Amino acid sequence: MKKMEQLYEGKAKKVFKTDDENLYIVDYKDDATAFNGLKKGQIAGKGVVNNKMSNFLMQIMEKNGIPTHFVEEISDRETVVKRVEIVPLEVIIRNIAAGSFSKRFGVEEGKKLNCTTLEYCLKNDDLGDPMINDYQIIAIGAATKEDLDTIADLTFKVNDVLKDFMRNYLKDLNIDLIDFKIEFGKTPDGQIILADEISPDTCRLWDATTHEKLDKDRFRRDMGNVEEAYAEVFKRLGL
């Protein structure tokens, strides 16, 4: 596999073409941003943690019948993934109230929700990733109804698998999955698969006993011990 020219540089990752037209290489950076890029910084070692954690979890998803972009980890920060066109949606699941949900609806952070919620934001930096509903997504053509149905089904399944994994298979983990954001891509043959990453950048992870935040909120909210939190999750996962 040959790494070819850079295709794209995002806030946290770079994407490269390869000599196989159906494969890309993602390269995870230590750069961190928040509030649509307004706050910028670095979290030393984050790229390694996010690469390895995401790959580990993507493989668990695959084992549970959820198709993903994962192909092969080729270095601490680099992974070969399937070429997809990203569906321009941030797909968010919440098990416990936090973040923008708590703010928007006036619900105390940490309150267990009566049911798991699914919400979407349109991926558009110029517009600040606005919240969008199913009808609006289909109306503007961000996804078809069929693709959105697939995305919703897969997203609830990801939540079930992740929660089950954290509770039952890795008891030492002692982490509660508060909420997370995932993204999907479409392969050249039209299959919807899980793409992007699953990491402390994109999940809220709280210590199940102390409720200490072990995720990017420590950076977003200037709480300190950011690197330590990423390293702690990495260690508890046994990576």
Residues of this chain that interact with ligand TMP (CB under 6 A) are 92, 98-101, 179-181, 201-204
Whole-number minimum distance, CB 20 to ligand TMP, in Å?
29
Which residue lies nearer to ligand TMP by CB, 125 or 146?
125
Residue written as token pair 């969008």 = 132
For residues 107 and 170, which CB has a smaller minimum distance to ligand TMP in the complex? 107
Q: Which single residue is written with the structure tokens 């270095």?
A: 75
| Min CB(216)–ligand TMP separation in Å | 7
- Written as one string, the DSSP assignment of 104-138 is HHT--TTPEEEEEEEEEEE--GGGT--EE-HHHHH
User: Closest separation between CB of residue 99 and ligand TMP, Å?
Assistant: 2
Secondary structure in 3-state letters for 192-231: EEEECCCCCCCEEEEECCCCCECCCHHHHCCCCCHHHHHH
Token pair for 118? 């699914």
Residue 98: CB minimum distance to ligand TMP, A? 6
Please give the residue whose beta carbon sits closest to ligand TMP in the complex: 99
Name the residue type at position 44.
Answer: A
Q: Which residue number, 6 or 124, has a Cβ lying nearer to ligand TMP?
A: 124
